[in-house]
Chains A and B, each alone.
Chain A
């Protein structure tokens, strides 16, 4: 029997899944690695630990669950989080840790570029919103604030490029991840001179850009041996988490959108045209040269509900967050839709789409004497989903959305999935959890093997039944509260600026 391995280098962990050729997962395993915050705005990961963790998880999965069943591994397809930057010297040795998508050190550089004519031009050609998450901004920051490292850097690569280079050779990056760097022209698929010039680098400082089906060559002999693999295992560079979650969720073509909420969240659509937004609110990433993934990301997803649960939930036994979350959902369920007029803005981590305001902060609004703890619980969940809806609402000015797929551990909880159906007033299906990304990676491998002719055919095999139908009455209510939510999200701009400043330095 033959099988395909998918490897996702995610935000907190690597997930490895083995699929048979019919697309059924036969085994899976994960291993987490830490994120270091050595300064408040910094978010870094150790490339060596990511590599070793991946190797360890892969080796265990193969030797415990794949080799004993006599599966022959045909290919390994990679997926990674977007926006990471790792500086390496000419010997390929990392100069410090990898900087992750969540790193905000380039706040000043980002706001300076965003408001300029050049920034607008760069956004239009690269499709990546000008934001500290963008590698364009991170490299610019390194040039200005860490000139020694900048000077020593042979290449600025993505964490995936580094991992693939360790396993094979050569520094490469797929279209999908490259299109999320803010440095790639998404029309002609080459590094954009304006962006390179702004970052102070030349194209040879970046990895070579390749299609998602590209194979960088054989696994090095040592790894073949330690993993027990043959030398004909095909390595496929693969794509980004956002692209593959969308493909694996079967969201393809007109009328569909996907809502993903894990710690953070996003609303995405797929189209053949770039989504042009004069306010620079949406991203346009490439899956292949023919398909654009367009949408908006939020910082404040399930992580906000977990924050609430950790501090205000009841704990029966130490660290048993699942028990606490389940109880809170029950409490939320006891309150009518709209939380009797209690509204929560979830901007604890600042916000990206659609307001793109790093200084936005969380707010409970409209508290009255009758509100109880359970109202706060429900308001938190509603606030997180209003925020998702605020992205979806503006997205609908550009794209038709008739139905939604949801995935990610937060969005796919039944209580949340129903609420998404009600707030959006659209039927909702739930993606196979938590493996839409792995499913998407499998589909790429299967296309590569010729199982499917193309992406359209592959995506069409993902059939998800509609599970949640919108409830009109709730929708009408949510619309009224959302109008207040939406106004508050921009109305408090000056106060957000002031409180963020005070939180940064109370004496200022």
Chain B
């Protein structure tokens, strides 16, 4: 297989794939100083080792990559050679441009044909992933197919290339839930879910999205959450929503509609009904009872950082 390098804007082959920043196969046979210094990535970078041994620094941690390993780097994360150069060997590079990395759903752009809820779940898994090096057997094969699709440009290749990239992301997401030892430690994985829910409380979460973070189907996920917390996943989420809403209500400056939307209720009406059903108070009555004079207080300053 020959080396190649395709770059966005300079390679016509990529004209139909505005999301691909770079796609290359490199056979490195000599060491060149400063050929791979540590830098911050501005896209999703996927490296797949075919041959050789690569010593890299990923997010300040040293990693050694062997054939079959992939490195998965998010925008803002750091990557580079441990000694500043690229080691001898062969590897694929595929860089994907991201619209909005903070939102899990933004990681896979409109080119992807994965459903929105699965895109969000995959995005969240990748954001939570703490191990940037994963062993994925099929990755090299997928990248090789992407290459031949782009080169041969047969009918339907646009769709097929994007499908292959989708399937690469799915493999990475699956492997990272498997590899994180998370399928053993339910409490720890549940705390990760807690954190994710709090960070995106305004999002309309579905059970499917939550279950995907555990790599479980919805039935088995619901059963396990129920036995661990006493609540169904949706009811547990309502708990967090109301608790966070109470904190906002106690700061007199936020208005009800904003509180409702910020904590994930459809509307102030929906918020009010749910709140009253549980507490017996409407949000207005509740605020009156707890009227705080410290409207300028910033809860951050008291270490109320539940989701750090």
Contacts and interface: CB of A to CB of B under 8 A. Distances in A.
Bind each other: yes
Contact of A315 (B183, B277, B278, B308): B183
B246 A223 contact: no
Contacts of A33: 239
Contacts of A148: 301
Contact of B292 (A48, A53, A93, A313): A93
B279 to A, nearest CB: 6
A57 B306 contact: no
A323 to B, nearest CB: 12
B76 interface: no
Contact of A49 (B185, B243, B285, B305): B243
A222 B279 contact: yes
B184 A226 contact: no
B199 interface: no
A59 B278 contact: yes
A92 interface: yes
A93 B242 CA distance: 16
A46 B250 contact: no
B229 A318 contact: no
A435 interface: no
Contacts of B247: 48
Given A91-B290, A96-B303, A97-B303, A55 B278 contact: yes
Contact of A226 (B194, B214, B239, B279): B279
B290 A92 contact: yes
Contacts of A152: 294
Contacts of A13: 229-230
A149 B302 contact: yes
A220 B286 CA distance: 12
Interface residues of A, number: 48
Interface stretch (A24-32, A115-123, A379-387): A24-32
Interface string B167-185: 0000000000000010111
Given A32-B228, A56-B235, A97-B303, A222 B285 contact: yes
Contacts of B216: 318-319
Interface string B271-308: 00000111111000100001111100001011111101
A89 interface: yes
Contacts of A52: 239, 242-243, 246, 278-279
Contacts of B306: 34, 36, 38, 46, 97
Interface residues of B, number: 46
Nearest to B183: A318
Contact of B191 (A34, A44, A313): A34
Interface string B227-247: 011110001001110111011
B277 A48 contact: no
A38 B305 contact: yes
Q: Is the interface of B mostly helix, strand, loop or mixed?
A: helix
B111 interface: no
A224 B191 CA distance: 33
Interface in A90-121: 90-93, 95-97
A298 B22 CA distance: 57
A96 B302 contact: yes
A318 B185 CA distance: 9
B277 A226 contact: yes
A38 B308 contact: yes
A487 interface: no
A311 B305 contact: no
A31 B290 contact: no
A319 B228 CA distance: 11
A337 B272 CA distance: 61
B224 interface: yes
B163 to A, nearest CB: 28
Nearest to B300: A96
Contact of A91 (B189, B293, B301): B293
A30 B292 CA distance: 32
Interface in A204-234: 220-227
A321 interface: yes
A151 B292 CA distance: 17
A31 B227 CA distance: 9
Contact of A30 (B230, B293, B303): B230
A152 B214 CA distance: 41
Contacts of B276: 226
Given A29-B230, A56-B235, A319 B186 contact: yes
A128 B154 CA distance: 78
A288 interface: no
30 contacts: A29-B230, A32-B231, A34-B194, A34-B306, A46-B243, A48-B243, A48-B246, A49-B239, A51-B246, A52-B278, A53-B243, A56-B235, A59-B278, A89-B292, A89-B294, A91-B250, A91-B292, A91-B293, A93-B292, A96-B303, A149-B301, A149-B302, A152-B294, A226-B277, A310-B185, A315-B184, A318-B214, A318-B215, A319-B186, A319-B216
Given A52-B243, A93-B294, 8 more contacts: A31-B229, A44-B303, A46-B306, A56-B239, A148-B301, A221-B280, A224-B280, A225-B280
In the A-B complex, the 3 residue pairs with the closest CB atoms: A222-B280, A226-B280, A96-B302
